[in-house]
Copies of this chain bind each other. A is one copy, B any other.
Amino acid sequence: MKVIVLGGDGFCGWPTALHLSNLGFEIVIVDNLSRRNIDNELEVSSLTPISPIGERLKTWKDNTGKVIKFFNLDIAQEYDRLLALILAEKPDAVVHFAEQRAAPYSMKSSRHKRYTVNNNLNATNNILCAIVESGLDIHLVHLGTMGVYGYGTAGMKIPEGYLDVEVVTDSGERIQQEILYPANPGSIYHMTKTQDQLFFFYYNKNDGVKVTDLHQGIVWGTNTPETLLDENLINRFDYDGDYGTVLNRFLMQAAISYPLTVHGTGGQTRAFIHIKDTVRCVQLAIENPPPKGDRVRILNQMTETHRVRDLAKMVAEMTGGEIAYLENPRNEAPENELFVKNERLLDLGLEPTTLSQGLLKEVTDVAGKYSYRCDRNKIPCTSLWIQNQKKHAKETVLK
- A126 to B111 Cα, complex, angstroms: 10
Stretch binding the partner chain, chosen from A60-68, A170-178, A222-230, A257-265: A170-178
10 contacts between A and B (CB under 8 A): A110-B133, A114-B129, A117-B121, A117-B125, A165-B167, A182-B182, A183-B198, A194-B198, A206-B385, A207-B386
Which residues of B are found within 8 Å of A195, using beta-carbon distances? 121, 195, 198-199
Stretch binding the partner chain, chosen from A11-19, A34-42, A150-158: A150-158
A387 and B132 contacting across the interface, CB-CB below 8 Å: yes
A202 and B188 contacting across the interface, CB-CB below 8 Å: yes
A235 CB to closest chain B CB, in angstroms?
Answer: 31
A133 and B198 contacting across the interface, CB-CB below 8 Å: no
How would residues 193 to 205 of chain A score, 1 for a CB under 8 Å from any chain B CB and 0 otherwise? 0110011011000
Q: Which of A94-132 contact B (CB under 8 A)?
A: 110, 113-114, 117-118, 121-122, 125-126, 129-130, 132
How would residues 357 to 388 of chain A score, 1 for a CB under 8 Å from any chain B CB and 0 otherwise? 00000000000000000000000000001111
A126 and B153 contacting across the interface, CB-CB below 8 Å: no
Given known contacts A179-B182, A198-B185, A198-B191, A164 and B168 CB-to-CB distance under 8 angstroms: yes
Which residues of B are found within 8 Å of A122, using beta-carbon distances? 114, 117-118
B155 and A170 contacting across the interface, CB-CB below 8 Å: yes
Judged by a CB distance under 8 angstroms, whether A135 is at the interface is yes
Which residues of B are found within 8 Å of A164, using beta-carbon distances? 167-168
A135 and B388 contacting across the interface, CB-CB below 8 Å: yes
- Total interface residues on A, using CB and 8 Å? 54
Judged by a CB distance under 8 angstroms, whether A327 is at the interface is no
A157 and B170 contacting across the interface, CB-CB below 8 Å: yes
Judged by a CB distance under 8 angstroms, whether A169 is at the interface is yes
Chain A interface residues (CB < 8 Å from chain B): 79, 83, 110, 113-114, 117-118, 121-122, 125-126, 129-130, 132-133, 135, 153-157, 163-171, 173, 175, 177, 179-180, 182-183, 185, 187-188, 191, 194-195, 198-199, 201-202, 206-207, 331, 385-388
Q: Contact partner of A175 among B79, B154, B177, B179, CB < 8 A?
A: B154
- A163 to B388 Cα, complex, angstroms: 33
3 A-B pairs with the lowest CB-CB distances in the bound complex, closest first: A165-B165, A155-B169, A179-B182
Q: Contact partner of A207 among B155, B207, B387, CB < 8 A?
A: B387
In this complex, which of A173, A188, A194, A202 has the most chain B Cβ atoms within 10 angstroms of its Cβ? Answer: A202
- A388 to B135 Cα, complex, angstroms: 9
- A80 to B167 Cα, complex, angstroms: 45
Known interface pairs A79-B110, A155-B171, A165-B166; 6 further A-B residue pairs with C-beta atoms within 8 A, sorted by A's residue number = A114-B129, A133-B387, A153-B167, A153-B175, A182-B182, A207-B387
- A267 to B132 Cα, complex, angstroms: 29
Question: Can you name the residue of chain B whose Cβ is closest to the Cβ of A196?
Answer: B195
Question: Can you name the residue of chain B whose Cβ is closest to the Cβ of A121?
Answer: B121
- A187 to B198 Cα, complex, angstroms: 11
- A185 to B163 Cα, complex, angstroms: 19
Question: Can you name the residue of chain B whose Cβ is closest to the Cβ of A171?
Answer: B155
- A166 to B153 Cα, complex, angstroms: 13
A175 and B194 contacting across the interface, CB-CB below 8 Å: no
B155 and A173 contacting across the interface, CB-CB below 8 Å: yes
A92 CB to closest chain B CB, in angstroms?
Answer: 20
A110 and B129 contacting across the interface, CB-CB below 8 Å: yes
Which residues of B are found within 8 Å of A133, using beta-carbon distances? 110, 387
A352 CB to closest chain B CB, in angstroms?
Answer: 21
Given known contacts A121-B121, A125-B114, A206 and B156 CB-to-CB distance under 8 angstroms: no
A339 CB to closest chain B CB, in angstroms?
Answer: 8
A132 and B110 contacting across the interface, CB-CB below 8 Å: yes
B165 and A156 contacting across the interface, CB-CB below 8 Å: no
A134 CB to closest chain B CB, in angstroms?
Answer: 10
